[in-house]
Amino acid sequence: MTQDTRFHHGHATSRQPLLEMTDIEKHFGPVIALAGVSFDIHPGECHCLLGDNGAGKSTFIKTMAGVHKPTHGSIRFEGKEMKFESPRDAMEAGIATVYQDLAMIPLMSVTRNFWMGREPERGRGIFKSMDFKHANEITMEEMRKMGINLRGPDQAVGTLSGGERQTVAIARAVYFGAKVLILDEPTSALGVRQTAKVLATIDKVRSQGIGVVFITHNVRHSMAVGDRFTVLNRGKTLGTAVRDEITAGELQDLMAGGQELVELEGSLGGTV
Amino acid sequence: MTDERLKKTSALRKAMIRPELGALAGVVLVFAFFLIVAGDSGMFAADGIMNWGIVSAQFAIIAVGACLLMIAGEFDLSVGSMIGFAGIIIAILSVQLGWPMWLSIIAAFVVCMSIGALNGILVIKTGLPSFIVTLAFLYILRGMTIFLAVATTRQTIIGGVRDASEGDWIAFIFGGVILKPVFQFLADIGLIDTYVRGTKIGQPVVEGLPMLMVWAIGLIVFGHWLLSRTRFGNWIFASGGDPVAARYVGVPVNRVKITMFVFSAFCATVLATSQVMEFGSAAADRGILKEFEAIICVVIGGALLTGGYGSVVGAALGALIFGVVQQGLFFSGAESSLFRVFLGTILILAVVLNTYIRRMITGER
């Protein structure tokens, strides 16, 4: 766990939260996916949302991102009560989401991906066209800032590694003014070095005053960059812990709901 | 940072991943072949060029529509039936009901583009593959075409369109011939043969540039510009590449797809109108198998059947290959049924090549 010390950690808890979600419930027909979850994120912190598969992480972040409307509960963004009708609404407010496998379109160039949905234009009337010169310049520059040297702006995203793709998606969200950045399992499909790269990117983004919501089921990854930790289990929060007040082992137990993993751990020799 | 495990990409390899390259190589091959086999048959004289040029232009018009739609991730199998349908509508409205030609043509465009929109809306709302939805319209439109023709005239061919279109400027836009003085000049200086006997003596064998070709070139230029230079073009790529990812960043995927279905219907109607004006009649069986030929042009042009990748210029080159081969077999005296054999063969080759190129781009193994 040498990564622990490589990152500075945010101390922003005194300020007003950027985004505050209180007592969120979400029902899909007879299924109660979320049964009263509260969560907040401050500027310049990395708040990890942990939970096992099926704990409700996906449903919760999709509620945060405007994909789902909560059945009950309130969402306050910068102190104002919000009702997101679509992901577009959430995005315009400044909540950007980078989904695990849907971040990028591999067959398209980095520039085309970077500007997708927000293409800069020049000219007027029916002759309006995409301003590729400007788009390419910005893309190359933003990629450099994140530590990715592209062969060219027309390089297909498919040629980038998984970690680089996540980084392009994060750079895109930051460039377009995200105040809250939701990262859905950004490290779960990556190798060790790629993971380190993405974690370093998270740290870079946090230092710019952006609130990062880091969803993961990997305790080690969360401990490496997280300032606060919230564990979801069966649609409920099991509380939020501040860094240095909790150990990796305790988080792991909370995620598994305590009991079962203790037994498992015995037979696996503490390797989980 | 550079990755030492990445081999240097050669210029050739870089050129290989341009979607048009395969089609360009095909064009060179096909021209070389027919220059050798049929070089002295008149295929490359002015009237010969016009002959395969028109056929290529016909393919190109529908290929542009099919290309943008395929890159947006959908197919339209109703294109061929729509060509017959649009023609019959124009003929019935103008000849049978006595509407002015310009109004009949506009009506045909409105009806066909609405059906295109219906295709798109059905695909989006039902979530069914466009293959199934437009296959249904392949049958519905063909059936309606024959029914309407027989119900109004007891025939499947409606003539008399030429008289009805006399002096009509919208009819000219589709069936006219431009640049006549230029072609006369070219004939006068001996670059184009002239008729040596009959009533047209002294006139060039090629009268001028048919509007059909002007449409083809115009649609290719427009399609290429739209796809590669505009915001909407980026949305077309995104909608076909990964609709979910596109939606998450705010691309109006449904609108893009429906618009492309309408555009495909527009292209089919352009071809139908031009043909009706050229032949002076509409036939209920016109356009059969055109939907597949359009798709093959697009695939030869380097587009992926799965969407998200392709090129309008490539599709246009695909159309050129088709026109040259179809007419070239005629000029070289080969059995014209061999054209279909050629189609099938080149389709397989193109798909194999495309799959390989796609692997190169995405780095899959």
Residue B365 has pLDDT above 80, yes or no: no
Which residue of B lies nearest to A127 if distances are taken between CA atoms?
Answer: B230
**Sheet strands side by side (includes A211-216):** A95-98, A180-184, A211-216, A46-51, A228-233, A236-242
Chain B CB within 8 Å of residue A128 CB = yes
**Is the model more confident about B97 or about A13?**
B97
Q: Do A117 and B246 touch (CB under 8 A)?
A: yes
Please return the burial class of B258, using the count of CB atoms within 10 Å of its CB with bins 0-12, 13-18 and 19+: buried
A-B contacts (CB, under 8 Å) = 84
- The residue of chain B nearest to residue A149, with distances taken between CA atoms, is B1
What does the domain layout of chain B look like in residue ranges? 20-30+45-362
Average pLDDT, chain B: 87
- Other CB atoms within 10 A of residue B281 CB: 17
pLDDT tens-place string over residues A178-201: 899 999 888 887 888 888 888 988
Q: What is the mean pLDDT of residues B285-312?
A: 91
B256: which chain A residues are within 8 Å (Cβ-Cβ)?
none
Percent of chain B with pLDDT over 70: 94
Is the confidence at residue B362, as pLDDT, over 70?
no
Residue B206 token pair:
């090629």
Searching chain B, which residue's CA lies closest to the CA of residue A156?
A: B361
Task: Give the span between the Cα atoms of B29 and B92, in whole angstroms.
Answer: 44
Lookup: tokens for B16:
């290989």
Residue A159 touches partner B, C-beta closer than 8 Å: yes
DSSP A80-126: EEE--SSHHHHHHHTEEEE-TTTS--TTSBHHHHHHTTS--EES-GG
Percent of chain B with pLDDT over 90: 48
- Would the CB atoms of B361 and A104 count as touching at under 8 Å? no
Task: Tell me which residue of A82, A64, A76 sits closest to A183, measured CA to CA.
Answer: A64
The model's confidence at residue A146, banded by pLDDT at 50, 70 and 90, is confident
CA angle B337, B343, B344 (to 5 degrees): 105
Looking at residues B40-45, what average pLDDT do you find? 82
For residue range A67-83, list pLDDT tens digits in order.
888 898 889 988 888 88
Cβ atoms < 10 Å from Cβ of B96: 15
Q: What is the pLDDT of residues B299-337, one digit of tens each?
A: 988 898 889 999 999 999 999 998 998 888 888 888 878
Taking a C-beta distance cutoff of 8 angstroms, is the pair B104, B89 a contact? Answer: yes
**Nearest CA among A189, A253, A263 for reference residue A221:** A189
Here the tokens at position B100 are 């002015």
pLDDT range class, residue A16, cuts 50, 70, 90: confident
Question: For position B10, what pLDDT does the model report?
Answer: 57
Assigned CATH for B20-30+45-362:
1.10.3470
Q: At what angle do helices B253-279 and B101-126 cross, to 10 degrees?
A: 150
- Partner-chain contact A103 B245, CB within 8 Å: yes
Q: What is the mean pLDDT of residues B100-106?
A: 92
pLDDT band for position A102 (cuts 50, 70, 90): low
* For residues B202-219, average pLDDT: 88
Suggest the residue from B16, B224, B225, B231 to mutate for an interface test with chain A (most A CBs closer than 10 A). Answer: B231
Q: Which residue of A88, A112, A149 is in closest CB contact with B234?
A: A112
Residue B132 distance to chain A (closest CA, Å): 26
- C-beta separation of B32 from A179 below 8 A: no
CATH numbers and ranges of domains, chain A: 27-104+162-268 (3.40.50.300), 109-159 (no CATH)
Per-residue pLDDT band at B55 (split at 50, 70, 90)? very high
User: pLDDT (tens digit, 9 = 90+) per residue, A215-254?
Assistant: 988 888 888 888 999 988 888 887 788 888 888 888 887 7
Q: How do strand A95-98 and strand B157-158 relate by DSSP bridges?
A: unpaired
ipTM value for the complex: 0.81
Q: Does A156 contact B242 at a Cβ distance shorter than 8 Å?
A: no
- pLDDT tier at A269 (50, 70, 90 boundaries)? low
Average pLDDT score over chain A: 82
Tell me the sheet residues that pair with A77. Answer: A19, A80
Residue B363 has pLDDT above 80, yes or no: no
Which one is predicted more confidently, B39 or A139?
A139
CB contact under 8 A, B233 and A130: yes
Of residues B353 and B122, more confidently modeled: B122
